[in-house]
Amino acid sequence: MAEVYEPITVAQVRQWLEAVKDPEIPVISIADLGVLYDVSIQDDGVLVSILPTYSGCPAMDTMQEDIIAELNKQGLEQVRVEVKSTPAWTTKRISEHGRQQLKAYGIAPPQEKTRQPIACPQCASTNTTCISQFGSTACKALYRCEDCLEPFDYFKCHV
């Protein structure tokens, strides 16, 4: 019996792309991070549009490779990734689910509202101090909790 091929749908591709995570924060998908902008099925294959986070972030190249590798693995041969410069990515694009994942991973999610305290992801205390405005990657700052004394990463607010 001949195999029946279903046409590829955008929803299917998006579901596959859930497996593509931020290489430096491997719990959050590029969709939850707000980097995945658009997926479209075109005559010559699948076009995935992404928004770069920080202009110099070296993870962007890896993300592009990971997108292609994942879709190739799912049997899609013709995949193109386009890096768009507009709209500019902001941390407001990070989904609620993504924020929960960051917190569970030990990274305090960005606080876009001003004057909001940065809560420790370990003990939830808001008695915290900024140690350095920059952390292990371009998107993070380094904080310390004055109650449980643990240092932690804070995902910088970027709006």
Binding-site ranges for other proteins (CB under 8 A): 52, 54-58, 85-86, 88, 90, 131-136, 138, 142, 156, 158-159
Cβ at position 16, least distance to other proteins in Å: 28
Minimum CB separation of residue 85 from other proteins in Å reads: 4
**Closest of 25, 23, 24, 53 to residue 37, by C-alpha:** 53
Complex with other proteins: residue 73 or 84, whichever CB lies closer: 84
Residues 6+ apart with CB under 8 A from 6: none
Q: How far is the CB of 93 from other proteins (least distance, A)?
A: 13
Q: Which is nearer to other proteins, 116 or 133 (CB)?
A: 133
